[in-house]
């Protein structure tokens, strides 16, 4: 049997939903080819007055906070040392890695000169938030890739790289959190320059801080939703107990965010707040989608209830997505102008979301993502031989791993 | 950005809109000097008599028409839209590859070979000046160059050379002075304000008008230099990076130490001596 045949058979055996995802992704690939042949003007609804559209609003400004689970959980588990949450770390890292890789794909489509993407590394401009974000995204994608290598090495039994990866695990976690802090907030800094363009409902000098805190909320919620869904649809173990712990952390962060958001709105904003009904509606939607889950998660009943917890997490995700769209799209539209994405723009973005789910499912299928329960594995190898439990030390730390 | 530039000496345009006749010689001169393609347009597709209706990748400057009534008679007022060549340009500060540069001569230049086409300059510019080559598969940004190549050689920009009456060109301080002189000499003729003297922290294009700015289509722009809005957040970046990094490292060192000690105690309690360290 040739390799192509094997692949064909393998794909044929997939669930129909996965096949559907593959179709969506291929459509997006086709659509993005059209962009490179005919240019941005024909394929998108962008113009000189509205130069950033769906590809920036969703594929970059929204996708980055949605991929924030990896750094948030990494810090919670390894730095704050809430070790029992560790089984959730790997799925979060996979999500983060996929998310950031797809952010890069989205950016390359949106750039006029994608072949010059490396210019940011050569022609530095530290005054530009875009420079900072692109450097961070490149660095962080690398970090996530290294973190993602662990399950890959486990899968293929590469022990030496595995040992190396373990040694640098903590530095990677710290690097991930610091780099993420920078670029999550700098995405907010993007819009600080849009002084008279972004509506005062969203424009205020705390925007970077707000972006960072809300990114953590989105990250935690994504982890919750993802674990519940992969339990429900992919037959993965039920992590309900761990998610309860997360559900205790989430309202704290959410509370901080909402406080900052409202305080900054009423004390630091200049200009008329309530002059455009459409924007007021979007603002109310955004705040409601964050206040409701905050109130919900305060009750222990919701936190312990799988359904209630997931609903709250979905609401938070929705709220953060609306917030990012408000900042980068609706709030930026001058009165009287209107942007809506073209079909090709939408197909590409849908394809990117589909690609995310597709790759996640495939990776979970072929690599040990969910089976990873470190409490069952001797994890103290190989750096501190004298601290290893009896019986393991003589093994020299090589290869005696589950 | 670059070394300190003396903004009293940078060259600036003084555009007296009351002296503009709407001949649009500046538009033609700009197209000729910059070798820009013509645009196929029809009248009244924009907001009024102006043609082309908007600035674009092919049109770096244009005269905007505003018709109004004065003493019962129809009158025209004009506004020459172009790059303002800010003292502290937003485009230059946000460009991730530093493709824009405020030159010491005055014009803000654009290096097309660096540009990656991210369009941040278009989002950032408070005057809506940079335009994009939407028709191309690999587009770049286009904007008024302030005729840097001419200015460098001691010549005036193409539009200022052509203009018969309205555009003066010279060191910024002199232009501001001249503008104030004109207002003082004919206070009944001019609006007692200069557009560009303080807008966006000061620009190299200064306008004198008879009508209020917003009626002519001038954008309302903050008086503070725009780069400072981002810089107040961005300057904290190295500090935040180090703070977050070091506090998390410290925190994890402590938490891990606690666990290590606990483990060692457990081992001691179970009566097994850990293997001796050699080295």
User: Which of A37, A79, A170, A345 to mutate against chain B (most B CBs within 10 Å)?
Assistant: A79
Once rounded to an integer, what is the mean pLDDT over residues B104-133?
A: 95
Instruction: Confirm if A369 and A90 have CB atoms less than 8 A apart.
Output: yes
**Contact assessment for residue B81 and residue B213, using Cβ atoms and an 8 Å cutoff:** no
Instruction: Report if residue B6 sits inside a domain.
Output: no
Nearest to A73 by CA among A211, A318, A231, A246: A246
Give the separation between CA A306 and CA A293, rounded to whole angstroms. 14
Q: How confident is the model at residue B1 (pLDDT cuts 50, 70, 90)?
A: very low
Shortest alpha-carbon distance between residue A8 and chain B (Å): 35
β-pairing verdict for B11-16 and B205-208 = parallel
Chain pair A-B, CB pairs under 8 angstroms = 213
Determine contact, residues A249/A220, Cβ cutoff 8 Å. Answer: yes
The pLDDT of residue B5 is above 70: yes
CA distance A311 to chain B (A): 31
- pLDDT over 70 at B273, yes or no: no
Q: Would you call B260 and A387 a contact, using CB atoms and an 8 Å cutoff?
A: yes
Q: b/e for B196-217, b at 16 or more Cβ within 10 A?
A: bbebbbbbbbbbbbbbebeebb
Six token digits for residue A169: 């695990």
| C-alpha to C-alpha distance for B41 and A183, rounded to whole angstroms | 44
Q: Which two tokens stand for residue A225?
A: 């939703």
Identify the DSSP state of A117: T
* pLDDT of amino acid B279: 44
One domain, residues B225 and B260: no
Same domain, B212 and B249: no
| Residues B208-260 pLDDT 10s | 999 999 888 899 999 999 999 999 999 999 999 999 999 999 999 998 888 88
Task: Specify the CATH number for A18-41+60-364; select among 1.10.3720.10, 1.20.1630.10, 3.40.50.720, 3.30.2310.20.
Answer: 1.20.1630.10
Are residue B258 and residue B208 in the same domain, yes or no? Answer: no
Helix (H) or strand (E) holding A103: helix A89-110
Using a CB–CB cutoff of 8 Å, tell me whether B152 touches chain A. no
| C-beta atoms of A127 and B1 within 8 A | yes
Q: Would you call B250 an interface residue with chain A, using a CB distance cutoff of 8 Å?
A: no
Torsions phi, psi of A350, nearest 5?
A: -60, -40
Q: Residues 6 or more apart from A172 whose CB is under 8 A from it?
A: A143, A146, A147
**Nearest residue, CB atoms, B97 vs list A42, A125, A177:** A125
Reading the block at residue A368, the tokens are 């040990």
State whether B206 and B223 are in the same domain. Answer: yes
Whether residue A185 lies within 8 A of chain B, CB to CB, comes out as yes
How do the pLDDT tens digits run along chain A, 402 residues long? 688 888 888 888 888 899 999 999 999 999 999 999 998 999 999 999 999 999 999 999 999 999 999 999 999 998 988 888 888 888 899 999 999 999 999 999 999 999 999 999 999 999 999 999 999 999 999 999 999 998 888 888 787 888 888 888 889 999 999 999 999 999 999 999 999 899 999 999 999 999 999 999 999 999 999 989 888 888 788 888 899 999 999 999 999 999 999 999 999 888 888 989 999 999 999 999 999 999 999 999 999 998 999 999 999 999 999 999 999 999 999 888 889 999 999 999 999 999 999 999 999 888 888 766 555 554 444 444 333 344 444 444 344 443
Its pTM stands at: 0.89
Q: What is the pLDDT of residue B67?
A: 85
Q: What is the pLDDT of residue A152?
A: 86
* Spatial separation of the C-alpha atoms in residues A336 and A161, rounded to whole Å: 58
- The one-character DSSP state at A220 is H
- CA torsion sign for B1, B3, B8, B13 is negative
Question: Which residue reads 């409202």 in tokens?
Answer: A262
Residues B85 and B104 in one domain: yes
Which one of A193, A211, A334 would you mutate to disrupt binding with B, by most B Cβ within 10 Å of its Cβ?
A: A193
pLDDT in tens, B162-201: 998 899 999 999 999 999 999 999 999 999 999 999 999 9
Whether residue B272 is contained in a domain is answered as no
Q: With CB atoms and an 8 Å threshold, state whether B241 touches A195.
A: no
The separation between CA B15 and the C-alpha centre of its own chain, rounded to angstroms, equals: 18
- Nearest CA of chain B to the CA of A20: how many Å? 30
Distance from the B189 Cα atom to the nearest Cα atom in chain A, whole angstroms: 30
Q: Which residues contact B184 (CB under 8 A, 6 or more apart)?
A: none
pLDDT band at B82 (very low <50, low <70, confident <90, very high): very high
Tokens of A223: 């982890």
Q: Which residues of chain A lie closer than 8 angstroms to B244, CB-CB?
A: 177-178, 181
Q: How far apart are CA A26 and CA B46, in angstroms?
A: 40
Average pLDDT score over chain B: 91
B146 lies in the same domain as B240: no
3-state secondary structure of B141: strand
Contacts of A190 in chain B (CB under 8 A): 120, 123
Residues of A with CB below 8 A from B238's CB?
none
d(CA A191, CA A326): 11
Same domain assignment for residues B195 and B260: no
For residue A373, what pLDDT is reported?
Answer: 57
> Which residue out of A36, A39, A48, A389 would a mutagenesis test of the B interface target, given it has the greatest number of B Cβ atoms within 10 Å?
A48
Asked whether B55 and B129 are in contact (CB, 8 A), the reply is yes
B273 belongs to a structural domain: no
Final residue of a structural domain among B190, B217, B232:
B232
How many structural domains is chain B composed of? 2
Q: In whole angstroms, what is the distance from residue A143 CA to residue A312 CA?
A: 30
Chain A residues with CB under 8 Å of B231 CB are: 127
* 8 Å CB contact of B115 and A116: yes
**Cβ atoms of A349 and A360 closer than 8 Å:** no
Are A137 and A104 within 8 A, CB to CB?
Answer: yes
Between residues 191 and 210 of chain A, which touch chain B (CB distance below 8 Å)? 192-197, 205, 207-208
> Is residue A102 within 8 Å of A356, Cβ to Cβ?
yes
B260 part of contact set with chain A, CB < 8 Å? yes
- Evaluate whether residue B271 is within a structural domain: no
Answer yes or no: do B225 and B257 share one domain.
Answer: no
Burial of A290 (C-beta count, 10 Å sphere; 0-12/13-18/19+): buried
Whether B228 has its CB under 8 Å from any CB of chain A: the answer is no
pLDDT at site A348: 95
Could you tell me if B250 and B169 lie in one domain? no
3-state SS, B30-73, equals HHHHHCCCCCCCCCCCCCCCCCCCCCECCECCEEEEEEEEECCE
Domain boundaries, chain A: 18-41+60-364
Alpha-carbon distances of A255 from A159, A252, B77, B214, rounded to whole Å: 43, 5, 54, 42
What's the confidence (pLDDT) of residue B46?
65
Residues of B with Cβ-Cβ distance to A113 under 8 angstroms: 115-117, 138-140
In a domain, B146, yes or no: yes
- Using alpha carbons, select from A221, A331, A348 the residue that is nearest to residue A279: A331
Inter-residue contact A315 to A288 (CB < 8 Å)? no
| Cα separation, A326 vs A207, whole angstroms | 13
Q: Do B248 and B176 sit in the same domain of this protein? A: no
Q: What is the DSSP letter of A234?
A: S
Average pLDDT over residues B73-94: 93
The range of the structural domain enclosing residue B246 comes to: 236-266
Residue B1, in any domain of the structure: no
d(CA B206, CA B204): 6
State whether B55 and B125 are in the same domain.
yes
Residue B3 lies in a domain: no
CA-closest candidate to residue A73, choices A83, A64, A63: A83
**Measured between alpha carbons, how far is B121 from B21 in angstroms, rounded to an integer?**
32
């Amino acid at each position: 049997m040739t390799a192509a045949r094997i692949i064909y058979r393998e794909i044929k055996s997939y669930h129909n939903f996965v096949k559907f995802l593959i179709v969506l992704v291929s459509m997006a690939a086709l659509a993005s080819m059209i962009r490179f042949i005919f240019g941005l003007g024909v394929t998108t609804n962008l113009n000189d007055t509205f130069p950033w559209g769906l590809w920036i609003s969703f594929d970059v400004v929204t996708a980055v906070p949605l991929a924030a689970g990896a750094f948030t959980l990494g810090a919670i588990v390894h730095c704050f040392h809430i070790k029992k949450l560790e089984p959730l770390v790997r799925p979060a890292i996979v999500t983060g890695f996929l998310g950031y890789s797809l952010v890069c794909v989205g950016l390359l489509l949106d750039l006029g000169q994608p072949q010059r993407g490396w210019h940011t590394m050569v022609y530095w401009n530290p005054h530009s938030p875009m420079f900072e974000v692109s450097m961070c995204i490149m660095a962080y994608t690398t970090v996530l890739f290294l973190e993602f290598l662990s399950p890959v090495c486990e899968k293929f039994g590469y022990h030496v790289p595995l040992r190396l990866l373990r040694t640098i695990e903590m530095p990677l976690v710290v690097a991930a959190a610091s780099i993420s802090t920078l670029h999550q907030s700098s995405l907010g800094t993007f819009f600080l320059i849009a002084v008279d363009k972004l509506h005062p409902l969203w424009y205020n000098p705390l925007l970077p801080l707000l972006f960072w805190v809300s990114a953590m909320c989105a990250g935690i919620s994504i982890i919750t939703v993802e674990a519940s869904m992969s339990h429900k649809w992919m037959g993965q173990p039920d992590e309900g107990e761990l998610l309860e712990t997360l559900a205790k952390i989430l309202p704290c962060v959410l509370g901080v965010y909402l406080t900052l958001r409202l305080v900054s709105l009423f004390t630091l904003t200049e200009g008329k707040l309530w002059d455009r009904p459409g924007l007021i509606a979007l603002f109310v939607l955004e705040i409601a989608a964050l206040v409701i889950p905050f109130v919900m998660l305060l009750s222990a009943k919701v936190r312990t209830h799988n359904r209630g917890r997931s609903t709250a997490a979905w609401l938070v995700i929705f709220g953060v997505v609306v917030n990012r769209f408000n900042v980068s799209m609706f709030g930026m539209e001058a009165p009287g102008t209107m942007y809506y994405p073209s079909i090709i723009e939408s197909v590409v973005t849908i394809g990117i979301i589909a690609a995310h789910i597709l790759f996640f499912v495939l990776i979970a299928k072929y690599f040990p993502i969910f089976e990873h329960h470190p409490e069952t594995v001797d994890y103290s190898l190989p750096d501190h031989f004298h601290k290893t439990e009896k019986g393991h030390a003589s093994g020299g730390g090589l290869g005696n791993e589950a | 950005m670059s070394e300190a530039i003396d903004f009293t000496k940078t060259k600036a345009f003084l555009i007296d809109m009351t002296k503009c006749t709407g001949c649009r010689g500046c538009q033609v001169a700009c197209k000729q000097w910059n070798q820009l393609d013509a645009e196929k347009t029809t009248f009244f597709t924009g907001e009024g008599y102006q043609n082309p209706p908007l600035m674009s990748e092919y049109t770096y400057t244009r005269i905007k028409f505003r018709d109004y009534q004065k003493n019962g008679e129809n009158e025209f007022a004009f506004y020459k839209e172009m790059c303002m060549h800010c003292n502290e340009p937003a485009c230059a500060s946000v460009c991730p590859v530093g493709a824009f540069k405020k030159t010491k001569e005055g014009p803000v230049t654009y290096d097309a070979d660096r540009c990656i086409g991210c369009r941040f300059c278009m989002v950032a510019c408070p005057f809506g000046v940079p335009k994009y080559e939407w028709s191309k598969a690999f587009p770049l940004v286009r904007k008024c160059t302030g005729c840097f190549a001419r200015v460098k050689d001691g010549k005036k920009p193409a539009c200022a050379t052509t203009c018969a009456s309205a555009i003066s060109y010279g060191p910024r301080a002199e232009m501001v002075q001249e503008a104030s002189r004109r207002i003082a000499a004919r206070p009944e003729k001019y609006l007692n304000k200069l557009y560009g003297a303080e807008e966006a922290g000061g620009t190299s294009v200064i306008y004198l008008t008879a009508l209020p700015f917003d009626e002519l289509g001038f954008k309302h722009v903050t008086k503070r230099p725009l780069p400072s809005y981002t810089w107040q957040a961005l300057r904290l970046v190295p500090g935040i990076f180090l703070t977050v990094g070091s506090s998390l490292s410290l925190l994890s060192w402590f938490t891990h130490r606690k666990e290590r000690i606990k483990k060692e105690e457990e081992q001691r309690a179970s009566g097994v001596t850990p293997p001796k360290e050699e080295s």
